[in-house]
Structure 1
Amino acid sequence: METKSLYIIRHGKAEDPSFRKDDFSRDLVEKGIARSQLVSEKIKKKISLVDERTLIISSTANRAAQTALIFARTLGYPEDRIMWEPSIYEAHYLLILKRLNDIPAQYDRVLLFGHNPGLSDLVDYIADDYINLKTAHVACLTLEEGLDYSTLSANTALLDAIVDESD
């Protein structure tokens, strides 16, 4: 059984909140697009293989969906296989964990795109490692040997790295 990997990815930098546009509809700004592209290239070097055992799940909020599409294109992941998950938007980390627990064991690599504070809290819970995930940053985790996503819970993953736009 291959060790499972989990990539927790916060959306790229988005438009500032305003009364003209609801939060869900906020789009990435140029800086957010550029950073997402740069970080996705770094992740491509970390993930040795993107195939049918790879799954991308994303919040349906514009900024998360746009970030997921940038990563999918960089990784060569078919856009029509992205699993769009409305429940991730503004979700508490335990609700995000519940969604991860539903992932079939056939997947070895999962990339999850969403929002703070839920994503940072999730990493803290499953890896017992407090982080504050910034925009377009990726928490790279490995599940304990022998575990799959259905058994992911408190302290069952190891935070391997935070990938960001810096060298």
Structure 2
Amino acid sequence: MSAETTRRVVLMRHAKADFPDGDDHERPLVERGRKDAPRVGRWIADSGFSPDQALCSTAARCRETWKLAVGELPQRPRTVYEERLYEASLGEMIAILNEVDDEVGSLVVIGHNPGLHALADALAGEADGDLLARMNRSGFPTAAAAVLTFTGSWKSVEHGIGTLTAFWTPHH
């Protein structure tokens, strides 16, 4: 793939999780989360989007969300469980994207707020229609997904590089 390749990244927040007393990293999904996760997978598939690779936070709620969502996709992408996505700052998330191999044309990232929302907002130099306003009004709820496109290599990912082309939430 050349440097002029149009790339796509889907930022997916984990589905609704429980708040037990205990280890935040191991919080499981609640029933609503288990219903919403396959719906976001179906939405990605219906968008005609077939990711080459997934980067998934090691947190239980992200792994469980991805496991339920990926079953709806036409093909299962190579999945990398990335512990740095757990509690990642905006700068850390951009650094992780900068490491993606340029053979990857389309990527899905399964992670957490506030980092994911900040990343979507930072990358979106422009947006189709009122998508940016809708995304920012929504606060990027659980099981939401934002799709951004950009041209160039993953190493070139930085603030304002992309266009927000879609935003979906399970509960409009």
1:5 and 2:12 matched: no
Q: Give the C-alpha shift of residue 71 in structure 1.
A: 2.1
Q: Give the C-alpha shift of residue 165 in structure 1.
A: 1.9
Segments of 5+ residues of structure 2 without an aligned counterpart are 126-131
Q: Which residue of 2 aligns with 1:83?
A: 80
Within 5 Å, give how 1:9-20 maps onto structure 2. Answer: 9-16=12-19, 18-19=20-21
Q: Note the aligned Cα RMSD (angstroms).
A: 1.8
1:148 and 2:170 matched: no
1:100 and 2:97 matched: yes
1:64 and 2:69 matched: no
Segments of 5+ residues of structure 1 without an aligned counterpart are none
The runs of at least 4 consecutive aligned structure 1 residues that moved more than 4 Å come to: none
Q: Which residue of 1 aligns with 2:140?
A: 133
SS of the counterpart of 1:32? helix
Identity %: 27
Amino acid at match of 1:106: E
Q: Whose strand proportion is higher, 1 or 2? A: 2
Q: Which residue of 2 aligns with 1:123?
A: 120
SS of the counterpart of 1:7? strand
Could you say if the C-alpha distance between residues 10 and 45 of structure 1 is closer, same or farther in structure 2, counting changes exceeding 3 Å?
A: same
